[in-house]
């Protein structure tokens, strides 16, 4: 008698029953000095305390399956941080949000939770631009009109060179093509809110501290904050948080 064996790969149940949730959270106060690696450690410990049906990686040291959005520079506050979390069964978004809110440390607060459709693009693939807000203090008593002229002149320049560290060492980089928009808001106490949007993707991006050398002559930066991650639109990029 001849036996014919047909080999089929074994499917891990963790891989079959993965449901992805996108979590938007803030990072303020002392938490803004938490590095990306430390955030990963904090979230790993936090998630294990929530009692959520977490999907784990395989191997000798399984960990909750997480993926993150654009990295946040150390010291910058944010009201638009994201991570994708994979669970093994479907829960109501409100249930996931409540479980996380009860466990996250001070300075990190859940803003919203969204269950993603199957095969949704990753955070890094879906992100198209990032918005920031600087709180500025004038070093000289410039009237509001002159401040507007100062920024208009900066915006109109074809090149804005900053020094960036690359694998080949430090080199000047023109960040002007990556600066997409800006807005100024003058506060009663004399401070200025400088909101700006920068590109994010294969073409590169602008870090908040890239603006330091451009602003330092006229302004003191009192606060840096990420206000939004803007996502692509289209059939595969439905509206997210």
Place of tokens 């069964």: 89
Q: Where a domain ends, among 120, 135, 152?
A: 120
| 165 and 90 co-located in one domain | no
- Please tell me whether residues 139 and 107 are part of one structural domain: no
Residue 194 counted as domain residue: yes
Q: How far is CA 188 from CA 69, 143, 221, in A?
A: 35, 13, 17
Q: Can you tell me the distance from the alpha carbon of 57 to that of 11, in angstroms, rounded to the nearest whole number?
A: 14
139 with 191, same domain: the answer is yes
Residue 206 lies in a domain: yes
Does 227 fall in a domain? yes
Q: With respect to residue 190, please indicate whether it lies within any of the assigned structural domains.
A: yes
Number of domains in the chain: 2
Name the DSSP class of 54: B
| 7 within some domain | no
Distance CA 161, CA 149 (A): 20
Q: Do both 52 and 111 map to the same domain?
A: yes
Last residue of a domain, one of 102, 120, 138: 120
Separation of alpha carbons 222 and 115, rounded Å: 37
CATH number of the domain to which 213 belongs = 3.30.2350.10
Residue 32 lies in a domain: yes
76: number of Cβ within 10 Å: 17
In a domain, 58, yes or no: yes
The residue to which tokens 């073409």 are assigned? 203
Q: Are residues 94 and 134 in the same domain?
A: no
Residue 2 lies in a domain: no
Q: What does each of the 241 residues of the chain score in pLDDT, given as a tens digit?
A: 454 444 333 334 445 478 999 999 999 999 999 999 999 999 999 999 999 999 998 888 888 999 999 999 999 999 999 999 999 999 999 999 999 999 999 999 999 999 999 989 999 999 999 999 999 999 999 999 999 999 999 999 999 999 887 778 888 999 999 999 999 999 999 999 999 999 999 999 999 999 998 999 999 999 999 999 999 985 444 556 6
Tell me the CATH number at 98. 3.30.70.580
Burial 107-136 (b: 16+ CB within 10 A, else e): bbebeebbebeeebbebeebbbbbbbbbbb
Range of the domain at 157: 126-231
Q: Are 240 and 114 in contact (CB under 8 A)?
A: yes
């Amino acid at each position: 008698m001849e036996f014919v064996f047909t080999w089929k790969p074994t499917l891990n149940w963790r891989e079959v029953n993965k449901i992805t949730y996108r979590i938007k959270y803030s990072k303020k106060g002392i938490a803004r000095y938490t590095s990306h690696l430390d955030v990963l450690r904090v979230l790993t410990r936090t998630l294990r305390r929530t009692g959520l049906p977490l999907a784990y990686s395989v191997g000798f040291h399984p960990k909750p399956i997480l993926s993150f959005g654009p990295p946040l520079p150390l010291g910058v506050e944010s009201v638009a941080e994201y991570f994708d979390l994979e669970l093994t069964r479907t829960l109501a978004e409100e249930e996931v949000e409540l479980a996380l809110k009860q466990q996250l440390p001070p300075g990190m607060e859940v803003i919203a939770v969204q269950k993603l459709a199957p095969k949704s693009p990753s955070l890094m693939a879906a992100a198209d631009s990032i918005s920031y807000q600087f709180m500025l203090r004038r070093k000289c008593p410039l009237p509001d009109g002159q401040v507007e002229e100062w920024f208009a002149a900066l915006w109109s320049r074809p090149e804005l060179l900053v020094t960036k560290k690359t694998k080949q060492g430090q080199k000047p980089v023109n960040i002007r093509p990556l600066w997409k928009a800006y807005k100024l808001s003058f506060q009663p106490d004399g401070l200025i809110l400088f909101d700006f949007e920068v590109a994010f993707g294969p073409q590169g991006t602008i870090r908040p501290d890239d603006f330091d050398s451009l602003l330092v002559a006229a302004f003191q930066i009192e606060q840096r904050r990420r206000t939004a991650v803007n996502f692509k639109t289209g059939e595969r990029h439905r509206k997210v948080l």
